[in-house]
Structure 1
Amino acid sequence: MLITQSAGKFLKRNSTIQLGNNQVDLSIPVVMGIVNITPDSFYDGGKMEDEVTMLKAVEEMVENGVSIIDVGAVSTRPGAEAVSTKVELGRLLPAVQAIHKNFPEIPISIDTFRSWVAVRVVDEIGPVIVNDVSGGILDSKMFETMAQLQVPYVLSHIQGTLKNMQDSPEYTDIIKEISTYFAEKVKKLNKLGVKDVIIDPGFGFGKNLDHNYELLNRLDAFKVFQLPVMVGLSRKSMIWKALDVTPETALNGTSVANTLALLGGADILRVHDVKEAVEAVKIFCEIKASIH
């Protein structure tokens, strides 16, 4: 099975990722829909705690053209309370099982920084994408586990830890420092035999407002890695603070930021609002198709 979206082809190196026997086509940008099974996430905490509500939300995402569902059971907002592996698995496993059962054709990503959680989920439902906001920092076994599982890995940049990352982030040259971070970690992953690596510059993870916008403005610098780039801007503080609104009213700003990210080379948009992101991708594809 080849998972695709209908639009023009803009092929590049590493334009697919392997998920078990299936391929996820990234030759044009795709949308990853966020499903937070948490009581305390910054925007949608507590909204999907029961299975019926969650599956209805996933169904709507599928109808609106989502390509990947990203399920998280631990809030990674700045200052969020830590939860145990047991609690995380207790939330996550039933959710991914239900989504896989009801939407077997949709690739699943799990938002976790724990290698054991990844092992348990793969044992239960098969290959998934592992979206690790810590870039292996919070679990020293994550990289070798990814090599053993042979599943796609989202390598995110973070400065500091989830608890202190927003206290006082500092960079001399943010692009250079993040690029060095990626170069070192991608080398380690490749050496271990991890075949599919997606890089995420980590908007909001150890970055202030100015850092985030410099990163967005220079996103195309990461094309040098010739790896898929994932961007998560959806309703984040860099948008609602700049507009002096709230996360709940930051959808228009999110769409603008997502469009700029696409122009900068983003391959995956990780979002709460799938319909609007898919529309941004379609407009982007029309622009690309008009270039001769």
Structure 2
Amino acid sequence: MVTLQARSGPVGLPEWDRCAVMGVVNVTPDSFSDGGRWFDPELAVKHGLDLVAQGADLVDVGGESTRPGAKRVDEAEELRRVVPVVRELAAAGALVSVDTMRGSVAEQAVAAGARLVNDVSGGLADPAMVPAVAAAGVPFVVMHWRGQSIDMNNRAVYADVLGEVVAELRSGLERAVAGGIDPARIVLDPGLGFAKDAGHDLTLLAHLRELRALGRPLLVAASRKRFLGRVLAGDDGAPPPARERDAATAAVTAIAAREGAWAVRVHEVHASADAVRVARAIEAAGA
């Protein structure tokens, strides 16, 4: 069993005095949240720098959609999408994370300047991932994951969602450590929306303290997700479009920050950057 203090961030990244804000840069044509607006590499780099200007502490670059039902892209295409954007953002001074399930993409992205590897599969999708991250010596996000996007909705079956997610995250943490990754460099993510329905997501958000008890920094990625659409649905049951869920996302950001999350991953940065600063001011006033 690995336990470390979870209030600070992972070794290898700056320490912030509040919850960090990770801005999303989707270099994909089929993102659920932005419909491919940043698929062009030049636009993606500009968008990433705009997010930093709006208050993002780091930017997460991904070249493969993980929306429910999405099919995987091949390795060469993912590399083509991701590596040039990582390189340009890092050269411009941005703190860059790479969002990938492939060890080869992680390796090349780190060589291009990425400082964090964010794997939604927690190392399960590619046996090469954990050795690649261990060799690179960078922080690693282990997310709760039960299978690929194409059929993950079928895996959203739990007798006790909190207990099962905690147990599976603990296994992912221990598997990464056994593979050579320094436990002080590991971040955990409960995987909101991945093999989970709206009720599961809300339950996990209501129990962030139990997730933090695993002893590692916690990343909360609720931005624009389906469960927010369900919460905000009108009388006819129709959820608002993804880009109309940013105020709700900022509400989750404030809650996550107050509950001690290390970082939140969001598409619209400005409101969440404000939210974490307000949460920190309230925390300081009560100290």
- TM-score with structure 1 setting the length: 0.89
Match of residue 218 from structure 2: 229
1: CA distance between counterparts of 2:78 and 2:49? 23
Offset, 1:220: 1.1
Match of residue 236 from structure 2: none
Larger relative contact order (Cα-Cα within 8 Å, sequence gap ≥ 6): 2
What are the superposed Cα offsets for residues 152-206 of structure 1, whole Å, 9 maximum, x if unpaired? 1000001232211113511111111111112222122223331200000000000
Whether the 8 Å contact between 2:130 and 2:180 is mirrored in structure 1 is no
Structure 2: any 5+ residue segments left out of the alignment? Answer: 234-239
The reply on whether 1:172 has 2:165 as its aligned counterpart is no
What are the superposed Cα offsets for residues 24-62 of structure 1, whole Å, 9 maximum, x if unpaired? 214421000000000001011311122332233222212
The reply on whether 1:192 has 2:179 as its aligned counterpart is yes
Match of residue 203 from structure 2: 214
When structure 1 is superposed on structure 2, of 242-251 and 51-60 the one drifting more is 51-60
Offset, 1:88: 0.3
Offset, 1:267: 1.2
Note closer, same or farther for the CA distance 1:264–1:157 as it changes in structure 2 (3 Å cut). same
Note closer, same or farther for the CA distance 1:69–1:127 as it changes in structure 2 (3 Å cut). closer
13, 27, 33: which is aligned to 2:23? Answer: 33
84, 92, 102: which is aligned to 1:94? Answer: 84
Secondary structure, aligned partner of 1:40: coil
Once superposed, what is the RMSD of the aligned Cα atoms?
Answer: 1.6
Residue type at the aligned position of 2:121: S
Whether the 8 Å contact between 2:258 and 2:279 is mirrored in structure 1 is yes
Residue type at the aligned position of 2:186: V
Secondary structure, aligned partner of 1:265: coil
The reply on whether 1:117 has 2:127 as its aligned counterpart is no
Match of residue 15 from structure 1: 8
Whether the 8 Å contact between 2:117 and 2:140 is mirrored in structure 1 is yes
1: CA distance between counterparts of 2:187 and 2:20? 13
- In percent, how many aligned pairs have the same letter? 32
Structure 1: any 5+ residue segments left out of the alignment? Answer: 1-11
2: CA distance between counterparts of 1:168 and 1:226? 26
When structure 1 is superposed on structure 2, of 181-190 and 194-203 the one drifting more is 181-190
Note closer, same or farther for the CA distance 1:222–1:62 as it changes in structure 2 (3 Å cut). same
2: CA distance between counterparts of 1:181 and 1:256? 27
- TM-score with structure 2 setting the length: 0.91
Secondary structure, aligned partner of 2:118: strand
The reply on whether 1:142 has 2:129 as its aligned counterpart is yes
